[in-house]
């Protein structure tokens, strides 16, 4: 077969190490963390997560699909995403739970994947890391009562594939199927969020903090935020979103709460600095959690799959009274506090999901036909701490005034406080939401292609994406499944993509690494 012929036999590269992890963008030396995770994860914790992954694969191979097994697989995969769970005790408990469910033990060890032929390892990693991202989106939909049989069944198929001796062609087909299933899952989550909390509408959000007690809510989970808003009504406690919770401010059923005041801080990688000695309770609903500093550990609470040693975990009963009590005890700031985004702005605008953008599609199409909008850029994805991510700020600043920037995920904090003006009343920066809201960008791109009678690849649209963890991986696979070409990806390419696999992606999809804003803009616009 074509791909079997194309791929060369790889080498076993790894020596004996205390751990091995290369699933995030910041992995050590661009090759893999072998002593301690760059994310702060200890070797023991990383190995426990490998053990959990191995046990989940055994479960998928052993048991028939049931709601209980499926939910366990989804939660387990989500738990092993970067910056979700740093708590060894909870990992041991979860792994035992999974092990006890296995009907026919088959003794699989994920380390056999890390040790195999580099191209096979690369493709299996794309599948495994992709379904970890899908699991996050599936979990968010599940808690709102939304499920999809095709999505759920694919977890079994993919986990089985990771343990099997499959050909290059078979694995490549499953890589693209991972992207297909993620599209289904993002559509499901979009439906869950909008049917539960309404269609997001453009909303201006302040970065300033009012005096008095407050709670910072970070992560991604809309239902947890809603539950907290309900429990804090008339308690004299204000609520502020953080990071990927910012887009929650645009949902009608959430923004109606008057004590949902604004957004605290910026993206997840800045939390150690921004949370330092802050006089507020901090609730982590899902990823991304950084290693917690002693200066604020006593005010950190976790829930759902996220856990951290020596912090209070709120169980599935979602009784947030301890969080509220801590906020009241700390008292907040004694005076209103001015805070800004990374570039000094005090207002963030969000809520430009597909429902809003498509409602003005005629206006957008008209502006393109009249030459007022010359190009669209999708600039977004996961942010991170590694140097080089200022590229995305500089890129957006240098885009011509007759272009529109679509953005989503936490990468937008690099530039979402900039005032770039508008084109005929259409803001030049359109925040489409969380990382899972990549579905909105896809819907808008497809609608524009239909309006202009061309393919998405023929649109004046360029994707300049940043990645950090596994949710970004599954979104990338979705774009590849859709045949999207000429994606610029950075700040570095995934360590788990072997040179041969990368060559295939470059040849077939024309994926490019970012260079400099100046060079990339010149290449795109001519």
* Overall residue count recorded for the chain in this entry: 526
Does position 187 have pLDDT exceeding 60, yes or no?
A: yes
CATH of domain 2-8+18-196: 1.20.1270.20
Measured distance CA(284)–CA(277) in Å, rounded: 17
Going from the C-alpha of 276 to that of each of 59, 190, 271, 322, 450, the distances in angstroms are: 41, 34, 8, 20, 49
In the chain, CATH 1.20.1270.20 covers: 2-8+18-196
Query: Which 8-state DSSP code applies to residue 247?
Result: G
E-assigned strand segments in 368-456? 375-381, 403-407, 422-423, 426-427, 429-431
Task: Please check whether residue 431 is in contact with residue 407, taking contact to mean a CB–CB distance below 8 angstroms.
Answer: yes
| Percent of the chain surpassing pLDDT 70 | 97
More confident residue, 106 or 237: 237
Determine if the peptide bond prior to 491 is cis (ω within 30°): yes
Q: CATH classification of 203-330, choosing from 3.30.750.210, 3.50.50.60, 3.40.50.2030, 3.10.20.30?
A: 3.40.50.2030
Mean pLDDT of 100-123: 94
In the chain, CATH 3.40.50.2030 covers: 203-330, 360-525
Q: Which residues contact 219 (CB under 8 A, 6 or more apart)?
A: 243, 244, 245, 283, 284, 285, 286, 287, 288, 304, 306
- Helix or strand holding residue 217 (H, E): strand 214-218
| Residue 115: predicted pLDDT | 92
Place of tokens 């502006």: 367
Q: CA nearest 478: which of 81, 125, 171, 177?
A: 177
Mean pLDDT of 194-203: 98
pLDDT in tens, 75-103: 999 999 999 999 999 999 999 999 999 99
**Strand order of the sheet with strand 214-218?**
260-263, 238-241, 214-218, 281-284, 300-303, 312-314
The pair of structure tokens assigned to 248 is 């929650």
pLDDT in tens, 28-79: 999 999 999 999 999 999 999 999 999 999 999 999 999 999 999 999 999 9
Q: In this structure, is the dihedral angle defined by the CA atoms of residues 455, 459, 464 and 467, taken in order, positive or negative?
A: negative
pLDDT in tens, 269-300: 999 999 999 999 999 999 999 999 999 999 99
pLDDT in tens, 472-516: 999 999 999 999 999 999 999 999 999 999 999 999 999 999 999
pTM value > 0.75: yes
CATH of domain 360-525: 3.40.50.2030
Going from the C-alpha of 133 to that of each of 178, 192, 207, the distances in angstroms are: 10, 17, 29
Q: Which residues contact 159 (CB under 8 A, 6 or more apart)?
A: 56, 57, 59, 60, 61, 73, 128, 131
Query: What is the band of 14 on the pLDDT scale with cuts at 50, 70, 90?
Result: very low
Mean pLDDT of the chain: 95
Measured distance CA(435)–CA(189) in Å, rounded: 11
pLDDT in tens, 304-335: 999 999 999 999 999 999 999 999 999 999 99
Would residue 236 be called left, alpha or beta, if left means φ above 0 and alpha means ψ between -120 and 50 degrees? left
12-21, 25-34, 206-215: the lowest-pLDDT one = 12-21
């Amino acid at each position: 077969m074509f791909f079997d012929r194309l791929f060369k036999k790889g080498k076993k590269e790894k020596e004996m190490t205390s751990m091995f992890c290369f699933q995030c963008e910041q992995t050590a030396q661009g090759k893999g963390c072998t002593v301690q995770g760059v994310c702060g994860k200890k070797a023991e914790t990383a190995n426990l997560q490998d053990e959990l992954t191995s046990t989940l694969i055994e479960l998928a191979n052993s048991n028939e699909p049931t709601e209980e097994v499926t939910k366990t697989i989804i939660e387990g995969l989500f738990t092993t995403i970067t910056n979700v769970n740093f708590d060894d005790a909870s990992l041991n408990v979860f792994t035992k739970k999974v092990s006890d469910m296995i009907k026919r033990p088959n003794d699989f060890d994920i380390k056999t994947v890390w040790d195999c032929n580099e191209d096979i390892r690369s493709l299996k990693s794309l599948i495994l890391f992709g379904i970890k991202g899908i699991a996050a989106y599936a979990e968010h939909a599940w808690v709102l009562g939304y499920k999809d049989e095709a999505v759920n069944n694919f977890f079994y198929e993919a986990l089985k594939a990771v343990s099997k001796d499959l050909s290059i062609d078979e694995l490549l087909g499953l890589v693209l199927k991972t992207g297909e299933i993620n599209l289904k899952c993002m559509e499901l989550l979009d439906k869950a969020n909008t049917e539960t909390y309404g269609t997001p509408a453009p909303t201006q959000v302040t970065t300033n903090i009012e005096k008095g007690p407050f709670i910072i809510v970070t992560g991604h989970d809309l239902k947890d935020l809603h539950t907290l808003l309900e429990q804090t009504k008339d308690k004299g406690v204000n609520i502020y979103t953080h990071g990927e919770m910012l887009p929650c401010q645009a949902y009608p059923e959430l923004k109606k709460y008057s004590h949902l005041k604004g957004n605290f801080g910026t993206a997840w990688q800045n939390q150690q600095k921004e949370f330092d000695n802050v006089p507020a309770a901090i609730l982590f609903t899902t990823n991304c959690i950084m290693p917690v500093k002693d200066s604020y550990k006593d005010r950190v609470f976790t829930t759902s799959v996220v856990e951290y040693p020596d912090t209070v975990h709120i169980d599935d009963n979602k009784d947030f009274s301890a969080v509220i009590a801590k906020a009241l005890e700390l008292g907040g700031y004694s005076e209103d506090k001015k805070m800004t985004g990374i570039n000094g702005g005090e207002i963030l605008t969000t809520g430009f999901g597909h429902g809003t953008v498509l409602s003005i599609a005629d206006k957008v199409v008209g502006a393109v036909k009249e030459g007022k909008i010359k190009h669209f850029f999708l600039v977004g994805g996961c942010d991170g701490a590694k140097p080089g991510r200022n590229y995305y700020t500089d890129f957006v600043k240098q885009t011509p005034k007759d272009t529109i920037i679509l953005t989503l995920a936490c990468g937008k904090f690099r530039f979402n406080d900039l005032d770039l003006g508008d084109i005929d009343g259409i803001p030049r920066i359109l925040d489409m939401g969380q990382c899972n809201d990549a579905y909105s960008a896809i819907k808008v791109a497809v609608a524009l292609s239909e309006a202009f009678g061309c393919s998405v690849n023929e649109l004046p649209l360029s994707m300049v994406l940043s990645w950090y963890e596994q949710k970004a991986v599954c979104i990338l696979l979705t774009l590849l499944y859709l045949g999207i070409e000429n994606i610029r990806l950075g700040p570095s390419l995934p360590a788990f993509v072997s040179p041969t696999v990368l060559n295939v992606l470059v040849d077939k999809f024309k994926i490019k690494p970012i260079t400099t804003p100046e060079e990339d803009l010149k290449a795109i616009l001519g």
